[in-house]
Structure 1
Amino acid sequence: MNESLVEIIKVCDRHADRLRWAMTELQKHRPLSEQTLAQLSDIDLAILDQFSTRFAKLQDAMGAKLFPAVLELTKEPGDLKAFIDKLYRLEKIGAIPSADNWLLMREIRNAFSHDYPDDPSMQAEVLNKALELSIQLLDVLKTVVDFVKPYINKS
């Protein structure tokens, strides 16, 4: 179990590293607006794509793999079928800071699936919110990794 958890963390770290890089590269364009989006170079647009992809991939990997592995590792009791129940249990045991914040990040992640090609101001709004929340997403990953370290180091 610990080996697969370590592998899951490696995947999350890889997404996080690339997300951090894209965040740094996009910093010079913040806050994004309809005008700044229209003026981005092809390279900057590729970086924006990298940002949105890594934000989504990191959150997906954490929600689908890391969180269930943490619950299994800690042998949390009960049959937690609903994802929201898993989130609240993770919050209760201190593995994540806030289930509600995770759900907000999930909403933004889902907004990426809607491109809003006819509404650049909506695109800018979603991206600005995602850039803010990406710091929290990275903090959640750090919190989870710090939480599981004692369990991993036991074996």
Structure 2
Amino acid sequence: MNTEDLIRIAVARCDRIVLGFDDVRPILAPVLPFAGDDLARLPLVERIASVALLKRYEQLQDMLGRLFRAYLDWELEDVRAMTRRDQANQLEKFGVFDDADDWIVAAELRNRLVHEYPIDEDEQVERVNATWAAASGLISAYQFLRARLADKGLLS
């Protein structure tokens, strides 16, 4: 598969993930950020939506990183040995994030969501609230990159 096809497929996946955020946002807006210490106190639909929120964040952060690496490859940048810091610096350079550290924070949150299941319910509440707060920035970064890709003629 060539890079342009990979970019189009990744954009389509990101678009679907963002639509998924749109699905859960009206359900969660009345209850997040959650002020309690136990998500089990939420009604069933909101509990399910909070798990969906976490999954969508994980997926969008991962796909955004993969999409940006494909774009850099298209721009003839060597991405084979690119570290997370290198990628963050490039995201800042291209204006996708105002500050490279914002990408590092997004990646660290995703890694916590994927790799560390919380034992304590307070930690789960913190993760849901952190994801709720971070989601709009991640979506904005994707929308910025998507517009750049469109301007380059990669989405036609």
Is residue 2:85 matched to residue 1:87? no
- TM-score normalized with structure 2 length: 0.84
Aligned CA distance change for structure 1 residues 2 and 78 (closer, same or farther; 3 Å): closer
Paired residue for 1:47? 49
In structure 2, distance between residues paired with 1:5 and 1:70: 7
1:14 alignment partner, one of 13, 16, 19: 16
Gaps of 5+ in 2: none
Alpha carbon RMSD of aligned pairs, Å? 2.3
In structure 2, distance between residues paired with 1:81 and 1:107: 17
The amino acid that maps onto 1:137 is: L
How far the C-alpha of 1:128 sits from its partner, in A, is 1.0
- TM-score normalized with structure 1 length: 0.85
User: Contact 2:97–2:141 at 8 Å: present in 1 too?
Assistant: yes
Identify which range, 23-32 or 33-42, moves more after superposition: 33-42
Paired residue for 2:118? 116
Paired residue for 1:125? 126
The amino acid that maps onto 2:23 is: W
In structure 2, distance between residues paired with 1:58 and 1:153: 19
In the TM superposition, what whole-angstrom CA distance separates every residue of 1:36-77 from its partner, at most 9, and x where no partner exists?
Answer: 6131233222111111111101111111x2011110122236
Aligned CA distance change for structure 1 residues 44 and 71 (closer, same or farther; 3 Å): same
How far the C-alpha of 1:85 sits from its partner, in A, is 0.9
Gaps of 5+ in 1: none
Identify which range, 24-33 or 90-99, moves more after superposition: 90-99
Percent identity for Structure 1 against Structure 2:
23
How far the C-alpha of 1:139 sits from its partner, in A, is 0.6
User: Contact 2:73–2:79 at 8 Å: present in 1 too?
Assistant: no
In structure 1, distance between residues paired with 2:17 and 2:73: 23
In the TM superposition, what whole-angstrom CA distance separates every residue of 1:90-137 from its partner, at most 9, and x where no partner exists?
Answer: 3213344332101111222222233323x2222212211110100001
Aligned CA distance change for structure 1 residues 47 and 154 (closer, same or farther; 3 Å): closer
Q: Count residues in correspondence.
A: 153
In structure 1, distance between residues paired with 2:155 and 2:7: 14
Identify which range, 106-115 or 132-141, moves more after superposition: 106-115
The amino acid that maps onto 1:55 is: Y
How far the C-alpha of 1:78 sits from its partner, in A, is 7.8
User: Contact 1:15–1:57 at 8 Å: present in 2 too?
Assistant: yes
Identify which range, 67-76 or 107-116, moves more after superposition: 107-116
